[in-house]
């Protein structure tokens, strides 16, 4: 019986609250603007945060765990003081570096105990021939450790065997897009492809991976799905070895000879004299990354005749820094959303206080005919909660629309989640409840006789 009476009270309060809100539509809408924009901001912020987190995790998967990346600096990009000088007497090199090469790979494996695997890469932009048609492709010389250090799964076929790698055999592993392009509707395993002037047998196809343009730009990651991978020794023997070329003296035509002993000097860059284009060093534990990177820097600098013609980066640390920046951005958005919700709550409180003043006589009448203080409090709380819930629903719709529009217009990935929508709805309801308490108590504490006399 008591529950039935209580339900009737709730139903009556709800009907009265709806009547009051509909009677003041414009005022109610203006009152709830803070809630609307606050909730929309919360949903959009959480969608951006979820998208950023997914992208960071995807990039972490691409760069591999506990990896250090060493990239050479070609002579064109070096400091002018590190270039060769030509005077009337001939070439006077200030310093000479052999560049990043396979000897460095062997030395790193042999001398640094914290290193788990070393994976060198050489890249050649060339073409593949199929049915008389040429298609551009990137040919990558790698070791068999490359696929593990780069978190690449071989979907079909197998990895390079030791014999294939050591004997420079013409075998290859191709990206999924290459298989789809050259062998539509059939498996590429065991078939031959002609890359430049060499026929290669396909022994494996890697699993297709989605790589965003942002990841390719920020982390220097290629679209792995469109590459052809061969053993690095096969690359050096059958395609190109820059070390052999760079060891040759510069042709006479590249040297300007001036008369006299004290002629003007001309700087001549050596070009890309590095044998390999990238070196991935995987350490045993993440705690050893910084120390290993420092040892690598000192070792390579010593081996390269004190020339800093390489750079070392730790991708996971770059990603963590990027993640920290995005977290700060999300915190700023949270503060802005919180301020909007606070302003919305204050707006609800103000409008409810004004409503109490306007309806003072009405309050006195309902108190005089038997309504308790609890009934009055419940009535005004119902109104404030309904206003905030209405604003919350509109804010949720705007937040969802804003997330989609943001993704379409800027390319920033946004991920909406049910938890963020429910959280926003809960916060909106809570705001209405909290900021409705003071006006409700103010209305309930009025004396019935004085309220009836109020003009």
Taking a C-beta distance cutoff of 8 angstroms, is the pair 193, 252 a contact? no
- For the full predicted model, state whether its pTM sits above 0.75: no
Cβ distance 171 to 142 under 8 Å? no
Residue 419's pLDDT is 83
Of 415 and 259, more confident? 415
Of residues 269 and 224, the one with the higher pLDDT is 224
Token pair, residue 154, equals 């071989």
* pLDDT number for residue 170: 93
Closest CA to 353 of 441, 433, 434, 450: 441
Angle between helices 373-410 and 33-63 (to 10 degrees): 40
Is a pLDDT exceeding 90 seen at residue 407?
Answer: no
146-155, 250-259, 303-312, 343-352, range with the lowest pLDDT: 250-259
pLDDT band of 81, cuts 50, 70, 90 = very low
When pLDDT is averaged across residues 150-157 and rounded to a whole number, the result is: 86
| 202-259 residue pLDDT tens | 999 998 876 666 555 555 567 778 889 999 999 999 998 887 754 444 444 333 333 4
- How high is the pLDDT of residue 62? 63
Predicted local confidence at residue 410, as pLDDT: 80
What is the layout of strands, in order, in the sheet containing 266-268?
Answer: 90-92, 84-87, 266-268
Of 287-296, 322-331, 424-433, the one with minimum mean pLDDT is 322-331
pLDDT at residue 447, as a whole number: 65
Distance between CA atoms of residues 248 and 146, nearest Å: 30
Of 127-136, 307-316, 438-447, where does mean pLDDT reach its minimum? Answer: 438-447
> Strand 90-92 relative to strand 84-87: parallel, antiparallel, unpaired?
antiparallel
Q: Are 209 and 216 in contact (CB under 8 A)?
A: no
Token readout for 98 is 């052999």
Q: Is the pLDDT of residue 11 over 80?
A: no
| Burial label, 66 (beta-carbon count in 10 A; 0-12, 13-18, 19+) | buried
CA atoms of 341 and 351, how far apart (whole Å): 15
Contact indicator for 18, 28 with CB cutoff of 8 Å: no
Mean pLDDT rounded to a whole number for the chain? 78
**Number of Cβ atoms within 10 Å of the Cβ of 453:** 11
Q: CA 195 → CA 169, 192, 324, distances in Å?
A: 14, 10, 43
CA 171 remoteness from chain centre:
35
Q: What is the pLDDT of residues 56-79, one digit of tens each?
A: 666 666 666 688 888 888 765 444
CB 283 within 8 A of CB 119: no
For residue range 86-121, what is the model confidence (pLDDT) as tens digits?
444 554 455 678 888 899 999 998 899 989 889 999
């Amino acid at each position: 019986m008591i529950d039935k009476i209580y339900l009737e009270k709730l139903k009556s309060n709800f009907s009265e609250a709806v009547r009051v809100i509909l009677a003041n539509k414009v005022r109610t809408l203006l009152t709830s603007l803070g809630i609307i924009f606050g909730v929309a901001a919360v949903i959009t912020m959480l969608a951006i945060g979820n998208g950023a987190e997914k992208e960071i995790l995807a990039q972490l998967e691409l760069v591999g765990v506990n990896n250090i990346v060493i990239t050479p600096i070609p002579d064109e990009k070096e400091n002018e003081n590190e270039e060769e000088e030509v005077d009337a007497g001939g070439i006077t090199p200030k310093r000479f570096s052999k560049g990043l090469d396979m000897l460095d790979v062997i030395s790193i494996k042999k001398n640094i105990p914290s290193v788990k695997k070393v994976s060198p890469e050489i890249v050649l932009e060339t073409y593949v021939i199929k049915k008389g048609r040429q298609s551009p492709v990137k040919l990558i010389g790698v070791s068999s450790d490359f696929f593990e250090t780069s978190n690449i799964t071989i979907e079909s076929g197998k990895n390079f065997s030791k014999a294939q790698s050591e004997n420079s055999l013409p075998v290859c592993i191709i990206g999924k897009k290459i298989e789809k392009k050259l062998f539509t509707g059939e498996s590429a395993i065991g078939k031959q492809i002609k890359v430049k002037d060499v026929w290669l047998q396909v022994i494996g196809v890697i699993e297709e991976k989605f790589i965003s343009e942002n990841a390719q730009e920020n982390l220097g990651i290629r679209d792995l799905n469109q590459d052809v991978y061969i053993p690095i020794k096969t690359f050096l023997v059958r395609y190109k070895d820059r070390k052999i070329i760079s060891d040759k003296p510069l042709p006479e035509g590249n040297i300007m000879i001036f008369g006299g002993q004290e002629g003007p000097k001309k700087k001549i860059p050596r070009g890309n004299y590095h044998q390999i284009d990238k070196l991935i060093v995987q350490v045993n534990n993440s705690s050893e990354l910084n120390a290993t990177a420092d040892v690598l820097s000192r070792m390579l600098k010593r081996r390269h005749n004190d020339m800093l013609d390489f750079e070392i980066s730790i991708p996971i640390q770059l990603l963590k820094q990027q993640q920290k920046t995005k977290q700060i951005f999300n915190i700023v958005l949270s503060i802005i959303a919180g301020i909007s919700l606070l302003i919305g709550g204050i707006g609800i409180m103000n409008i409810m206080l004004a409503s109490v003043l306007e309806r003072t006589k009405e309050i006195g009448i309902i108190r005089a005919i038997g309504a308790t203080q609890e009934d009055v409090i419940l009535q005004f709380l119902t109104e404030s909660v309904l206003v905030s819930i209405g604003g919350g629903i509109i804010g949720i719709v705007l937040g969802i629309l804003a997330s989609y529009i943001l993704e379409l217009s800027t390319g920033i990935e946004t991920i909406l989640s049910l938890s963020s929508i429910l959280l926003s709805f809960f916060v909106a309801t809570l705001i209405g409840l909290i900021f409705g308490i003071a006006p409700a108590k103010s209305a309930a504490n009025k004396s019935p006789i004085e309220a009836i006399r109020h003009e």
